[in-house]
Structures are given as structure tokens and as C-alpha cells.
Amino acid sequence: MSTSRRAPATATRRDAAQADPGRLTPLPAGEPGDDPAGKPAGEPGGRPPAASARGLTKTYGRGAAQVHALRGVDLDVPSGRFTAIMGPSGSGKSTLMHCLAGLDQPSGGTVVVDGTDLGSLGDDALTVFRREHIGFVFQSFNLLPMLTARQNILLPLELGSPRLDDAARERAHELAESLGVADRLDHLPAELSGGQQQRVAIARALITSPSLLFADEPTGNLDSTTSAEVLDHLRRSVRELGQTVVMVTHEPDAAAYADDVVTVQDGLIA
Ligand SMILES: Nc1ncnc2c1ncn2[C@@H]1O[C@H](COP(=O)(O)OP(=O)(O)OP(=O)(O)O)[C@@H](O)[C@H]1O
Ligand SMILES: [Mg+2]
């Protein structure tokens, strides 16, 4: 299938309904996901996309070991909305998220976030840009093992300004409380369950209030009750704070929390 000539994929509410029509709560008109002029974000005439990919390719390895993880992805992530990315294991979902977040360099194509072409930024500028605009919850958590949960959550703020104020500590506690891990803040990651580590990783990604949050299977290690709490939290941060959230999930129940669903298959948007 050629992606070069067709219009870029923009997730739609209908896509989400197809994922699980029974669970989707339609958004009432005029909520924060829509722009003040009343046009839905990400739709023609609405706000510009929070992130855009054009002709995005990513090839790992060389010769016979080459893997074409992304094969020319065109995608617009609508601003102020909750987008779910679904697709089979190995289809390129994590690779796409890493490239959109500037964590991994694509082999070809462009990524624009909040109007900035990530390819135009040097390493230092990209690090600062990511810190100021983007939060990322890794599929593998990536907590630093020698830091406590609290220190892990506060780390992105400390990297920005070495002296943390009380407000930052208060915010870390609030986030941990709302994610149900406040009583584990003084423990090391090795002393936490997988689900607790996952929730600490979510708190760490949210501590800077990023305008764009990527979460790679954020409920993969959670029971259904905790999973619902985390998904509610993400949905609230979209509705109430106007954040853009992009979440990879294998679970239709989780995707039903999203406004839009994008399916990745074999390195392309299906
Ligand atoms: N660092 C790497 N080196 C070589 N190949 C890689 C690397 N990272 C990913 N791949 C390959 O790229 C393809 C896409 O991987 P990716 O992790 O993006 O899949 P995914 O859709 O996130 O899968 P899952 O649902 O299992 O997390 C896979 O074939 C994978 O083996
Ligand atoms: Mg993955």
C-alpha cells in the first residue's frame, strides 16, 4: 500500500467507536479538546496538530538483519485529544512513539511537534524541547534503580532547574496520590511491584505538565481497577488541562477511553 500520495491519517472519533462502540462515551460539544471557535481540534479549520509525521521511516540493522520498523508513516496527532495507537506486536507502535517524541531518530521523513521540526534541532536543543513539551511513559518504565520513587518522579524537574521548590514536591505527592502510589514514594523501584513502577513512571511523565504525553502501554501491568483509574487520570488531563495524550494499548477496553484510534500494521498506518 502506498502512503505517499494519500492524505495523512488523522484519527477520528468514528475510529474510536469502531474499536469498541459499546464503551465509547461521545464527547459533548465545546469541551477543552475543541478549539474556542468551536471547531474540533485536529479537524479541518481546527487547531494545528500537536504532532505530525510525514514519510516517516525507521530501519534497524543492516543487510540480512534489516528490519523496516516504519515504512512511510503519515500521521497527524490532533491537539487536545486522547489518541490510542493499536496494532499487532512488532508492528512499529513503540518505534513510532519514540520517533514522534524525539527519543529516536527516524531513518527518513519528518516529525513536527508544536510547530517545531524535530530534525532541525541539535542534540542539546532537542533535549530542552523534549523537557519543555513532551512527557513519555516507557513500555519498560525506565525508572532509575538507584533513586527512590519520589526522586524518580521529581527527576525531570530537577534536570530543568536544580533547586526544587515546595510546590514541586507537593505536586509530586498529589500525582502519586491520585495514581495510588503515595505510600511507596520512599522506596526504590526494585521494592515496587510492576504496576507500582508503571504508575511512578506515569507520575514522572506528568510532573512537568507536558502539552504532549506519550504513554506506551501504560496499563499493561495493571489490574482492571487500577487500569481504569490510570485511564481516567489520562482522560481528565486531556479534558481539564487540554493536554494531548497518545497511548499505545493492546486492550480495546483501554482504547475506548480515547477520542480517536489509530491502527499500525507492518510499519504503516492501517
Ligand atoms: N533497537 C532495535 N533493533 C533492531 N530491531 C528493533 C529495535 N527496536 C525494535 N525493533 C524491531 O522493529 C519492529 C517494531 O518494533 P516495535 O517495538 O516498534 O513494535 P511494537 O509495535 O511496539 O510491538 P509490541 O506491541 O510488542 O510492543 C520489530 O520487528 C522489532 O523487532
Ligand atoms: Mg511496543
What's the 3-state SS for the chain? CCCCCCCCEECCHHHHHHHCCCCCCCCCCCCCCECCCCCECCCCCCCCCCEEEEEEEEEECCHHHCEEEEEEEEEEECCCCEEEEECCCCCCHHHHHHHHCCCCCCCEEEEEECCEEHHHCCHHHHHHHHHHHEEEECCCCCCCCCCCHHHHHHHHHHHHCCCCCHHHHHHHHHHHHHCCCHHHCCCCHHHCCHHHHHHHHHHHHHCCCCCEEEEECCCCCCCHHHHHHHHHHHHHHHHHHCCEEEEECCCHHHHCCCCEEEEEECCEEC
Does the beta carbon of 91 lie inside 6 Å of ligand 1? Answer: yes
- What pLDDT is recorded for position 31? 43
CATH number of 9-269: 3.40.50.300
* Pocket residue to mutate for ligand 1, from 56, 57, 58, 60, most atoms within 8 A of Cβ: 60
- What pLDDT is recorded for position 221? 87
- What pLDDT is recorded for position 7? 62
Ligand 1, residue 98: give the atom nearest the CA: 18
Does the beta carbon of 135 lie inside 6 Å of ligand 1? Answer: no
- What pLDDT is recorded for position 33? 43
Cell, residue 53: 509525521
pLDDT, tens digit only, all 270 positions of the chain:
333 445 667 655 444 444 433 333 333 333 444 444 444 444 545 789 999 999 999 999 999 999 999 999 999 999 999 999 999 999 999 999 999 999 999 999 999 999 999 999 999 999 999 999 999 999 888 999 999 999 999 999 988 777 788 999 999 999 999 999 999 999 999 999 999 999 999 999 999 999 999 999 999 989 999 999 999 999 999 999 999 999 999 999 999 999 999 999 999 999
* Pocket residue to mutate for ligand 1, from 57, 62, 70, 91, most atoms within 8 A of Cβ: 91
Q: How far is the CA of 95 from the centre of ligand 1 (A)?
A: 6
Angle, helices 123-133 vs 149-160, to 10°: value is 120
- What pLDDT is recorded for position 211? 96
Does the beta carbon of 92 lie inside 6 Å of ligand 1? Answer: yes
- What pLDDT is recorded for position 124? 95
Look at ligand 1, atom 11, and give the residue with the nearest C-alpha: 69
Q: Where are the domains of the chain?
A: 9-269
